[in-house]
Amino acid sequence: MIFKYIARNISIRILMLIGIGVFAGGPMFARPLFKNSVASTEIDFIHTDDPSVAFRMNEVGRERKEMPDKRSGDGDDALFLENVGVFELTYSDGTIVEVWASPQLESSAALYARHCADAMAKLPHALRSQLKHVVVHFGNESAFAEERGGFFVVYSENIEIRLANNDFEETVFHEAIHVALEAEHARSEGWLQAQKEDRAFITQYAEQQPKKEDLPEFALFACTYFKHPERLPQRVQDELAQKNAQSPEVSSAGYGHLGADCKVAL
């Protein structure tokens, strides 16, 4: 599974954090380098024209669906909506994911389903195959994932903002990491031990919520390093190259596997 070696090889995470300058010349408890991985770095980790998996989108119809929403109150009645637009996405690698679009989106439901479909087409198979569906609401709230249910939730106006800033593919990647890997790895012995030993985080977001956000925040940097290192700042590239050269046994045992797993991610 993608990133299984991060959880099992503590040295990978330590080297990555050293490599991006978290420890460089500073105290052990260094401040994070970025506020968050997607919206505050100005790094275009995933490009719109990057290779993607082909897919077919089929409009299934209107159904009653469970549609979790940050703005809703508690209770089962608040979770369900009638006349939800259902779209089935069939990718050429055999994965099938549905998009459930709020009735408030009306005639634009297919457009937002297409935006989600395009972004998911750039995910590696091991991430996309763990997704059951995507919920799309009208409005402007940040995305969130429900890893146990196998889905994530996005909002139409926020999608437009993220698209304009070239951040939507990264947002989908981040939420897919939650769904595919969080339950198994984010609280695993290996990952928690890595956090304890290196005592630093790539982003403030990861530092504030280490048990939930550290893994997806880290994953975007790690996968970019293996597929498109030139998209990272030059000082990050130089430091990572140096650490790889200094620790070839870690590079071979951990980085190599991770890089192979990431070959279709970006």
Which is nearest to 265 in space by CA: 47, 96, 116, 94?
47
Q: How far apart are CA 217 and CA 91, in angstroms?
A: 26
The answer to whether 34 and 233 have CB atoms below 8 angstroms apart is no
DSSP 31-52: PPSBS-SSSSS----S-TTS--
151 beta partners: 133, 146
Residue 212 has pLDDT above 60, yes or no: yes
DSSP the chain: -TTHHHHH-HHHHHHHHHHTTSSTTS-SSPPPSBS-SSSSS----S-TTS----EEEEEEEEEEEE---TTS-SSHHHHEEEEEEEEEEEETTS-EEEEEE-GGGGGGHHHHHHHHHHHHTTS-HHHHTT--EEEEESS----EEETTTTEEEEEHHHHHHHHHTT-HHHHHHHHHHIIIIIIIIITSHHHHHHHHHH---SBHHHHHSTTTTHHHHHHHHHHHHHH-GGGS-HHHHHHHHHHHHH-HHHIIIIIHHHHHHTTTT-
- Mean pLDDT, the chain, rounded, equals 80
Kindly tell me the burial class for residue 15, based on how many C-beta atoms sit within 10 Å of its own C-beta (0-12, 13-18, 19 or more): buried
Lowest mean pLDDT among 170-179, 203-212, 229-238: 229-238
Which is nearest to 214 in space by CA: 227, 235, 199, 225?
199
Q: What is the pLDDT of residues 45-92, one digit of tens each?
A: 999 899 999 999 999 999 999 999 999 865 555 789 999 999 999 999
101 beta partners: 85, 136
pTM for this model (two decimals): 0.82
Both tokens assigned to 60? 């299934």
The confidence score (pLDDT) of residue 198 equals 67
- Match 């059951």 to its residue by tokens: 132
Q: What is the pLDDT of residues 191-208, one digit of tens each?
A: 777 777 767 787 889 889
Lowest mean pLDDT among 75-84, 119-128, 163-172: 75-84
Q: In residues, how long is the chain?
A: 266
Q: What angle do CA 260, 179, 61 make, to 5 degrees?
A: 115
Lowest mean pLDDT among 7-11, 111-115, 147-151, 195-199: 7-11
Q: How far apart are CA 144 and CA 131, in angstroms?
A: 13
